[in-house]
Structure 1
Amino acid sequence: MATLRDTRALVDGAFMAGLTAVLALLGMYIPPFFFVSSMLLPIPLAVLVRRQNLKVAILSLVVTLFLMTVLYPDPLVVLIMFMQFGPLGLVLGLLYKNYVSAGHALVAASLVATLSSLAVIALSVMVVGISLEALQASLNESMNKAFAMYQEAGIPVPLEQQQMLREGVQTAVLLLPAAYIAAYLISTTLTYIIGAKVLRRLNYQVNSLPPFSKWRLPWYAIWGIIIGLLCYLLGNEYQLDTVKIIGQNVLILFVFIFFIFGLSVIVHFYQQINLAKPFKMMLLFLLIIYISFMYMAVVLLGLLDTIFNLRRPITKKEI
C-alpha cells in the first residue's frame, strides 16, 4: 500500500512538473501570454501540496527548474520565473491544505508575493545591473533624440514642456517597483481565486473569498501609509534619496491598495441603494466615467473604512 501511494505521488509530481514547465515556457516564448502564465504557474504546485505533501511538491519544483533550464537558453530568466511562482505555489498549497480563512490566506500570499517581487528586483540590480538611474538615463537620452528630431523638422518642443516630460518620466521610473509589486499582488489574488476553483472541481474543500463588497483591511494596514509617509519625509528632510524613493513607493503601493478597498465600500453601498434599475445603471456609468477624478476620495474612503468600519450594521442602540 505504501509503495502504491509513493508511486502515485511520484506520478503526480512528474505530471505537475511537466505542466508547470509547459506553462512557464509558453509565458517566456510568447510575451502576450506572460501575465496569464505567471498567474497560472503557482496553481499546479499548490494543488500538488494539497493532494500530496510539501516534500513531493518541493521535488516537483526542482524537476520543473531543471526542465526549464534545459529548454530555455537564458538561466537568469528561468531563475526569475522560478522565484516568482515557486515560493507562492508552496505557500498557497499549505494555506489550502490547512483550511486557512480566505482573508488571512490572501494576506499571507500577498506578503510572499511582495517578498518575491523584492527579491526579483534585488537580483535584477545585482546581476543584470538594471537600476532606476540607468533606466532613467536611457529614457532621457531617447527623449533628447526625439526633441532633436522635432527641432530639425521645424516643430521645436518648448523648454517648459520638455522639462515637464522629463519630470514625468523621472517620477514614473522611480515608482516602477511599486507598480511591479501592485501588478504581482493583483496576479496573486487571481491565482488564489483560480486555485480555489480548481481544487473545488477536484472535490477538495477550500475556503472561498467573500464577495468583493465585503472585502475589508485590518486596522493595522494604516501603518503602511504611516511608514511610507515617514520614510518620504525623512528622506526629503535629510537628503536621503534612497529612503525618499522607498517612502514614495510604499505610499503609492498602499494608496493603490486602499483604492481597491475603497471600491469595495462603494460597491457595498451601491448594492444598498433602493433605486430603479435604469437609475442604478446610470449611476454606475457615471462612477466608471469619473472614477479617475475621484481616485483620492476613493482612497480616503478605503482608509476610513479600515479604521472605523463604515459598513458595520447600525444597531438600534447606536441610533
Structure 2
Amino acid sequence: MASFRDTRALVEGAFMAGITAMLGLLGMFIPPFFLVISMLMPIPLAVLVRRRDLKVAFLSLVVTGLLMMVIYPNPIQVLVMFIQFGPLGLVLGLLYKNYVSAGHALITASIVSAIASIIVITLGIFVTGLNLDLIQSALNESLNRVFTTYQEIGYPVPADQQALMRTSIKTSVLLLPAAYLIFAVFSTVLTYMVGSKVLKRLNYRVNNLPPFSQWRLPWYSIWGIILGLLFLLIGDKFDFSVVKIIGQNLLTIFGFTFFIIGLAVVVYYFKQLQLSKPFKIMLTVLLILYIGFMYMAVVLLGLVDTILNLRRPIQKKDK
C-alpha cells in the first residue's frame, strides 16, 4: 500500500513538473506572457508540497529544470527562472501546509522572493558582465543619436532639456534593482492569492488575506527607511557610489512599501467617512490624478501608521 502511495506521489510529481516546465517555456518563448507566467509558475510546486511533501516537490522541481534545459537553448535563462520561482514555490507550499497566517506567509514569501531576485541580479552581473554603468552608457548613446536626428531635421533639443533627460535616465538606471525587487514582491503577493484560490478549489483550508484597509507592517519595518538613509548619507559623505546606490534602492523599495500601507490607511478612513457615493468617487478620481504630488504624503502616512497604528482607536471604539 505504501509503495502504491509512493508511486502515485511520483506520478503526480512528474505531472506537476510537466505543467511547471510548460509554463516556464511558454514564458520564455513568448515574452509578453512572462508577467502572467511569473505569477503562475510557483503554484504547481506549492500545491504539490501541500498535497504530498517537500521531498516529492523538490524532485519535481529538479525534473522541471532538466526538462527546460533540454528543450530551451539558453541554460542561463533557465537557471535564472529556476532560482526565481523554484524556492518560492517550495516555501509557499510549506506555508500553506502549516496553515501560517496570511500576513506572516506574505512577509516570508516576499523575503524569499527578494533574496532570489538579489541572487539573480548578482548572477546576471557575473555571467554577462552587464552592469548599471554599461546600461546607462548604452542608453546615453541612443539618446545622442536621437538628439542628432532632431538636430539634422532642424528641431534641436535645448541643452537644459537634454541635461534633464540624461539625469532622468541616470536615476532610472540606478533604481533598476529596486524596480526588479518591487516587481518580484508584487508578483509574489498575486501568486499567494492565486495559489489560495487553487487550494480552496481543491478543498484545502487556507488563511484568507485581511481586507486591504487592514494591511499593516510590523514596527521594525521602519529600519528599511533608516538603513536606506544611513547608506545614502555615508555614500554622499565619503563618496562611496556603491553604498549610495544601495541607499537609493532601499529608500525606493521601502518608500513604495509604505506607500501601499499609506493607501490602506486612506482606504480605511475613506470607509469611515459618512459621505455620498458621488463625492467619494470624485475624491478617488482626484487621488488618482494627483497621486504624483501626494506620493510622499501617503508614504509618510504609511510610515506613521506603522509606528503608531493610526487605525487602532477607531477599531477599539467599534468594539
In the superposition, the TM-score normalised over structure 1's length comes to 0.97
The 1-side partners of 2:204 and 2:50 are apart by 8
Matches within 5 A, 1:63-212: 63-212=63-212
In the TM superposition, what whole-angstrom CA distance separates every residue of 1:124-179 from its partner, at most 9, and x where no partner exists? Answer: 00001110000000011111111111111121111111111111100100000000
Which residue is 1:12 aligned to?
12
> TM-score, with normalisation over the residues of structure 2?
0.97
Mean Cα displacement is larger for which, 206-215 or 307-316? 307-316
Which deviates further from its counterpart, 268-277 or 131-140?
Answer: 268-277
2-structure distance, mates of 1:183, 1:316: 35
CA offset digits 1:156-214 (Å, max 9, x no partner): 11111111111110010000000010011100000001101111110111111101110
The CA distance in 2 between the partners of 1:188 and 1:60, in whole Å, is 21
The Cα shift of 1:46 comes to 0.3
CA 1:54–1:224 in 2, change beyond 3 Å: closer, same or farther? Answer: same
Structure 2: how far apart are the matches of 1:60 and 1:305?
43
Shift, 1:292, TM fit: 2.0
Which residue identity lines up with residue 295 of structure 2 in the other structure? Y
Identity, % of aligned positions: 66
2:33 corresponds to which residue?
Answer: 33
1:270-316 alpha-carbon deviations (Å, 9 max, x no partner): 11111122222222222222222211111011001000000003489
Residue number in structure 2 paired with 1:55 = 55
- One-letter identity of the residue aligned with 1:170: K
Counterpart AA for 2:235 = G
Q: 1:266 is aligned with what amino acid?
A: V
Q: In structure 1, the residue corresponding to 2:293 is in which secondary structure?
A: coil
Q: What is residue 270 of structure 2 aligned with on the other side? A: 270
State which drifts further: 158-167 or 39-48.
158-167
Alignment gaps of 5+ in structure 1: none
**1:45 maps to what in 2?**
45
Q: CA RMSD in A?
A: 1.2
Runs of 4+ in 1 over 3 A off after TM superposition: 314-317
State the one-letter code of the partner of 1:27.
G
Distance 1:136 1:240 in 2: 18
